[in-house]
Every structure is written in C-alpha cells, then in structure tokens.
C-alpha cells in the first residue's frame, strides 16, 4: 500500500480500534504492516498509556466509508432540523463540513452536493432559513464555519440575482468548497497569530491551486474548481494566483471573492473585532472604487444581504 492509500488515525484511535483494520509502518518506512484485524479490540489501557506504535493508520477506503456514513447521518439530521431548529441545523452543517474538508476526496465532495440540496430546497421554500442560520454564531471560529457562512450568503446572492435553483445550488457548493485547498497548508501557517513571512504567504496563497486540483479530480462541475482557483483574483489584476483581470474571472468566482471578504470582516475571529455588516460593506465599497471588485456584483450582493440582517 502506498502513502496515498493510508490515513493516519493515531490521534483519535479510540474511534477506530474496534471496527477497523489498523496498520503500522514497516521499520524501513517503505510500506505498511497489519497491526490488528478488524473486529479485534485493543485494550483501552494500551491506548490510554500509548502502548502502541507512534503512528497507526487505516486504509483510505475505510476512511472514506466512515466519512460517507457520517455525511449520510448528518444529512438525515439536517433534513429534520433545518425547518425548526437553526442552532441544531448549523451545528450539523459545521460538523459535516469539518469532516468533509478534512478528507476532500471524490466521493466525499460528491456527498456534499446532497447537503447543499437539502439547504437550498428549504431555502427556496422559506428564504428566512438563511437569515436564521446566519444568526447562530460559533464559539470557536473554524474553516468549516467560514465555509458554511459563505455558502449561506451565496444562497442570498443567487436568489437575489434570480438564478435558477440549479445555479443557486452551484453557487452554494462553490461557497462551501472555495477554501478546500487549505487542507494542504500547514496548520502553523493557517493558525499563525502574527504576520506571515513572505515564504509563508506564498504557501498560504497556494490553497487556491490546491483547491482547484482537489475539486477537478472529482466529478463536480468544473466551475466549482475554478471558483476555488479564482476567488482571490481581483478585477484590476492585483489578485492571485494568476493576476487575472475582471473579464477573465468567472462571475461566480468574483461573487465568492466579495462574499469571502465580507464574511471575514463580519465574523467573530480570535483577536479581531467583527465589523457590522454596513461597516464591512463600506470597506468593500472602497475596494470596489479602487478597482478590486466588480461594481455590479457588489451592488447586487449589498442588496441581497439587506434581507438577511
Ligand atoms: Fe481563500
């Protein structure tokens, strides 16, 4: 088995020790050995006292099966809660995105489409659902929470722009997955509580290209991959990774770019005071004036969020 086919599970071993076949690395580091068969439990004390090899693994196939089972469970819960219990529904959305963004493989990305279907179906019937979900705030800010918020603003913008249900779903999916490439950026850069060095900034910016590749390898609409690639491009060519100009950027990528900026300015993140929606819009309007964002898209977005706050 190659490294690509194995997933390390040492940190949450309790979850895996019973129902999964677990592997360890061979001493020469070139392959994997069986550590224990599926169905054979490891004594709890061994886990507690870390009496096992430093790193243990399950197959990627098992991991995908596990994540898929959770996604199904969460989607069923979401269907139940989304109408009447926004707090529970948002919690479920966070959990499912946390799980999915941590292992963004084809099958798992494909399953997220079902999550979007559930949210959009409810949203089209009861638009207040998006506002209710946005009102629920989180204690700890995370990538999953950011992606869910961006998705919710996408639904508002799609609806306000009179997109078809299919196009609203597409935009919502782009919102959920725009930062999926961050899985390839080391945590110490993502969570750095200081200014990044030039080298670190370069690595962080690569999340756009990673995201493009991850999504492109799956079976989703190519535009979802493009929006992951282009959401940091700016109309005047000052964005990254390619310095594309306004007319070269997919309109949906430009929408995600504005929403991403808005969400970052208005969300509660450690060490930063969130701006009020109107303050965030004013700040972004300045960037529109400087040629960074498309004025028409900005106008539509600004109007679309009036109904949400
Ligand atoms: Fe990003």
Place of tokens 């086919």: 5
Q: How far is the CA of 257 from the centre of ligand 1 (A)?
A: 8
Q: Kindly state the average pLDDT of the residues 288-299.
A: 97
* DSSP state, residue 3: G
More confident residue, 272 or 88: 88
- Tell which wins on pLDDT, 208 or 140: 208
Does the structure show a pLDDT above 60 at 309? no
What separation in Å is there between the alpha carbon of 122 and the centre of ligand 1?
A: 27
Query: How many angstroms separate the CA atoms of 127 and 136, rounded?
Result: 16
* pLDDT of the residue at 260: 97
Nearest to 96 by CA among 29, 41, 157, 147: 147
User: For the residues 81-107, what does the mean pLDDT come to?
Assistant: 93
Please state, in angstroms and as integers, the Cα–Cα distance from residue 212 to each residue in 17, 146, 190, 216, following that order: 34, 18, 18, 6
Q: What separation in Å is there between the alpha carbon of 207 and the centre of ligand 1?
A: 7
Residue owning tokens 């950027």: 249
**Mean pLDDT, residues 247-259:** 98
Separation of CA 19 and ligand 1 centre (Å): 36
* Model confidence pLDDT, tens digit, residues 187-212: 999 988 889 999 999 999 999 999 99
State the distance from the centre of ligand 1 to the C-alpha of 29, rounded, in angstroms: 35
- Ligand 1 center to 253 CA (angstroms): 11
Cα distance between residue 98 and residue 202, in whole Å: 25
Band of residue 172 on the pLDDT scale cut at 50, 70, 90: very high
Tell me the three state secondary structure of residue 8.
strand
Distance (angstroms) between ligand 1 centre and the Cα of 182 equals: 8
Q: Treating both helix axes as pointing N-terminal to C-terminal, what angle do 143-160 and 165-177 enclose, rounded to 10 degrees? A: 160
88 Cα–ligand 1 center, Å: 27
Looking at per-residue pLDDT, the higher value among 287 and 129 belongs to 287
Mean pLDDT of the chain: 92
Distance 164 CA to ligand 1 centre (A): 26
Domains in the chain, CATH or no CATH each: 3-63 (no CATH), 85-306 (1.10.3210.10)
CA contacts within 13 A on the Cβ side of 302: 16
| pLDDT of 140 above 80 | no
Alpha carbon of 223 to ligand 1 centroid (Å): 16
Q: What percent of the chain has pLDDT over 90?
A: 72
d(CA 15, CA 44): 11
Look at residue 307 in the predicted model and tell me its pLDDT: 61
């Amino acid at each position: 088995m190659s490294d690509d086919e194995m997933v390390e599970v040492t940190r949450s071993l309790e979850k895996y020790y019973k129902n999964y076949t677990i592997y360890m690395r061979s001493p020469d580091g070139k392959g994997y050995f069986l550590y224990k068969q599926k169905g054979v439990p490891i004594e709890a004390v061994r886990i507690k006292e870390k009496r096992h090899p430093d790193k243990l693994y399950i197959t990627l196939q098992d991991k995908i099966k596990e994540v898929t089972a959770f996604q199904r469970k969460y989607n069923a819960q979401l269907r139940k809660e989304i109408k009447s219990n926004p707090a529970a529904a948002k919690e479920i959305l966070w959990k499912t995105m946390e799980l999915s963004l941590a292992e963004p493989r084809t099958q798992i990305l494909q399953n997220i489409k079902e999550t979007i279907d559930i949210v959009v179906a409810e949203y089209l019937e009861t638009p207040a659902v998006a506002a209710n979900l946005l009102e629920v705030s989180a204690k700890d800010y995370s990538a999953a929470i950011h992606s869910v918020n961006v998705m919710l603003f996408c639904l508002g913008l799609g609806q306000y722009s009179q997109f078809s249900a299919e196009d609203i779903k597409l935009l919502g999916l782009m919102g959920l997955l725009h930062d999926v490439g961050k899985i390839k950026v080391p945590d110490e850069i993502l969570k750095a509580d200081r200014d990044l060095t030039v080298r670190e900034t370069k690595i962080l910016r690569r999340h756009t290209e990673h995201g493009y590749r991850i999504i492109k390898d799956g079976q989703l609409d190519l535009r979802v991959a493009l929006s992951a690639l282009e959401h940091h491009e700016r109309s005047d060519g000052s964005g990254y990774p390619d310095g594309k100009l306004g007319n070269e950027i997919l309109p949906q990528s430009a929408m995600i770019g504005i929403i991403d900026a808005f969400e970052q300015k208005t969300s509660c993140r450690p060490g930063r005071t969130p701006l009020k929606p109107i303050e965030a819009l004013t700040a972004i309007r300045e960037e529109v004036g400087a040629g960074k964002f498309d004025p028409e898209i900005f106008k539509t977005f600004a109007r679309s969020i009036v109904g949400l706050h």
